Structure 1
């Protein structure tokens, strides 16, 4: 049975995806893999005021190029894959992507070992709690 899978990745942190990627590829075999990376909000409008109006457009473009390179380096050519770059609160954007793309499952990695005091990272925990889609958590 082919599935549509969503794999959130943090391009600056391989632990966010290195253990989840093989499972996502296994689950998406014969189906579609959507890879999403989220550019976080500024946190407050006061902080955002220090950036030019074109900053987010330029950031989306550059991160999009980086994500395309990541896909080319990490996803087998026979896998149907669609990269997505979004902007906002990380967990909210992952949940929205899961809904908008009508995925069957969101596959997420856990935080690095030095964060073992948490059961899940804060974004993964929120996705698990609030998503209407199935969420498969891969421990690192």
Structure 2
């Protein structure tokens, strides 16, 4: 059913459990369906005209190289070696890059972690909600046991 599964990973997430939550589910799905796993991390795009002027010219490429190294290290230490895995580092807005990468790799499924929303996310939405809303493929939102006990205040 699924041949290409995309998993965005936030390498800046300090809680390793949350960082690996979607990856663990994606590994099980890849094994079950014999699917290829695309592991994506998104870094900021500093090449924007206003922001880019404050940084040295090569800082953007340094950030990408460092993210590639961190992603490879993370995948090597947390995922089994017998899977077909492609590492992807993209620059830009998180949800836009997830959606664009899903289209580029023709993903059948995006496996994305949920997290406890902050007050501002109730009003403007999170990356996860935007991916769910605009993705051209199925999206599996993986919740941690902490998120399952969210109390809604009215």
Q: TM-score, normalised by structure 2?
A: 0.80
* Higher RCO by CA contacts (8 Å cutoff, separation 6 or greater): 1
Q: Is the 8 A contact 1:4 1:103 kept in 2?
A: yes
Query: Does residue 68 of the first structure (1) align with residue 79 of the second (2)?
Result: no
Q: Tell me how many residue pairs correspond in the alignment.
A: 137
2:126 aligns with: 122
1:18 aligns with: 20
2:40 aligns with: 36
- Determine which structure has the larger strand proportion and give its number: 1
1:95 aligns with: 99
Query: Does residue 3 of the first structure (1) align with residue 3 of the second (2)?
Result: yes
**Structure 2: how far apart are the matches of 1:23 and 1:7?**
10
Q: Is the 8 A contact 2:45 2:60 kept in 1?
A: no
Structure 2, unpaired ranges of 5+: 145-154
1:84 aligns with: 88
- Deviations along 1:18-74, one digit per CA (max 9) or x if unpaired, are 221121111111221000000023496322210111111111111101100001001
Larger radius of gyration: 2
Residue 65 and residue 43 in structure 1: after superposition, are their counterparts in 2 closer, same or farther (change >3 A)? closer
**CA RMSD for the aligned pairs?**
2.0
**Structure 2: how far apart are the matches of 1:15 and 1:131?**
25
Q: Is the 8 A contact 2:40 2:87 kept in 1?
A: yes
**Structure 1: how far apart are the matches of 2:17 and 2:53?**
32
Structure 1, unpaired ranges of 5+: none
Query: Does residue 139 of the first structure (1) align with residue 150 of the second (2)?
Result: no
Residue 102 and residue 16 in structure 1: after superposition, are their counterparts in 2 closer, same or farther (change >3 A)? farther
**Structure 2: how far apart are the matches of 1:109 and 1:17?**
8
Q: TM-score, normalised by structure 1?
A: 0.88
Q: Could you say what secondary structure the match of 1:36 adopts?
A: strand
